[in-house]
A = this chain, B = another copy of it.
Amino acid sequence: MTEVAAPRRGRITPEREAELYGAVLDLLREVGYDSLTMDTVAARTRSSKATLYRQWGGKAELVARAMRHHKPGSIADVDTGSLRGDFDALLSQENDAALEEMSALMRALAMAMHHNPDLRRAFRELLIEPELDEFNRVLRRAVDRGEVRADNSALDYVPHMMLGAMITCAVIEDRPPTQAFFRTYLDAVVLPALGV
């Protein structure tokens, strides 16, 4: 697999970039990934298509970078001294409106990812893998502190548990996931599976 090209920033201001990503996510919610075209993005944001392709390479990268930009906070900054504390700090960076929006966007992309290898690749490289790396740093610190055994087999499945809870909450409970839902789920499932 070739690597996703880094966007050539510096040609547009951070404000303009944020505005553009916001428009991409609006369009994604309105029409879905398959019907989203670079033409529509160009029209909605009053950009030229040439600029969009030069800066982002294609639709898949543009959508993945828009999702990543939209994700509030970063677990990289979190180091409270306990795994429960780290998860708690991570959750506090989100708010219920952002969680609901992210859950809706993930559902909007779930089918498109199935049919579009480009989107799957961009999504993995720009969103999933950096997130997994950060999760793994948090978990490795918990192992180093002796909170979690190094051979605990649930360590490999923390992303499945968290992302799975976000997606299934909406389907099973017919309501978007909230901070409160995630806190209960962490205490009921994730920490016990890790033996904490």
Contact flags (1/0) for A135-154 with B, using CB distance below 8 Å? Answer: 00000000000000000011
Task: Verify A159–B163 contact, CB threshold 8 A.
Answer: no
Task: Verify B193–A124 contact, CB threshold 8 A.
Answer: no
Which of A37-45, A60-68, A75-83, A109-117 lies on the face that meets chain B? A109-117
Q: Which residue of B lies closest to A177 (CB)?
A: B160
Contact (A110, B111) CB under 8 Å given A184-B153, A193-B192 = yes
Task: Verify B167–A165 contact, CB threshold 8 A.
Answer: no
- For the residues of A in contact with B, the DSSP-based class is helix
Residues of B near A169 (CB, < 8 A) are 160
How far is A167 from B166 in the complex, measured between Cα atoms in Å?
11
Task: Verify A154–B111 contact, CB threshold 8 A.
Answer: no
Q: Which residue of B lies closest to A121 (CB)?
A: B174
How many residues of chain A have a CB within 8 Å of chain B? 39
Residues of B near A153 (CB, < 8 A) are 184, 187-188
* Contacting residue for A110 out of B157, B171, B184, CB 8 A: B171
Contact flags (1/0) for A96-134 with B, using CB distance below 8 Å? Answer: 000000001001101101100000100110001000100
Q: Which residue of B lies closest to A184 (CB)?
A: B153
19 further contact pairs, Cβ within 8 A, besides A114-B170, A128-B172: A107-B110, A107-B114, A110-B167, A113-B171, A123-B171, A157-B165, A157-B188, A157-B189, A159-B172, A160-B172, A160-B189, A161-B164, A163-B168, A164-B164, A164-B165, A164-B168, A189-B193, A192-B193, A192-B195
Q: Which A residues contact B (CB, under 8 angstroms)?
A: 32, 104, 107-108, 110-111, 113-114, 120, 123-124, 128, 132, 153-154, 156-157, 159-161, 163-165, 167-172, 174, 184-185, 187-190, 192-193, 195
Which 5 pairs of residues, A with B, have the shortest CB-CB distance? Answer: A164-B164, A153-B188, A110-B110, A193-B193, A164-B168
